[in-house]
Structure 1
Amino acid sequence: MQVIWLIIIGAAAGFIATRLMKIEADLITTIAIGVLGALVGGLVLRILLAVTGWAAGFIGAILGAMLLIWLWQTYGPKR
């Protein structure tokens, strides 16, 4: 059941992060960005700030997804 929540939270976080960073991505990429962002941002935020709960995880997921987008734009393949 937690995997389903991770996908749902990841999809929402990925959607918000891609809109904030003005990135056009397909649904699968948006979900992947959000899920990876949820893992990275959620864990880092919970560890550094010792904050628990779904709100901290959601905010961390958005921040993590935005970090991944920035890293991809900065260090990823150039078009």
Structure 2
Amino acid sequence: MGDAALVHAEIVGETARGGAHPREGWTVHPNLELAVPVARAVNPISGTNWEGIGVRPDVPCDADTALDRELALVAARLA
């Protein structure tokens, strides 16, 4: 489950798209917007981030079955 110091939740589902850099957008023309990254998220332990890579789930499964899968995991842990 990742770096123990940073674990706050178990992720169930598909790998995220990987949007780690906050951005600001400006309308250049009614049909054109400029989006510019204005910061960079950094993992304090690894020194890396997830931009373009995504966050890998702890329990990989299809998005449409993720809720049922998590509910089953919770029920099993509570049993």
Q: TM-score band (shorter)?
A: under 0.3
Q: Which has the larger radius of gyration?
A: 2
| TM-score computed with the length of structure 1 as normaliser | 0.26
Greater RCO (CA < 8 Å, at least 6 residues apart): 2
Determine which structure has the larger helix proportion and give its number. 1
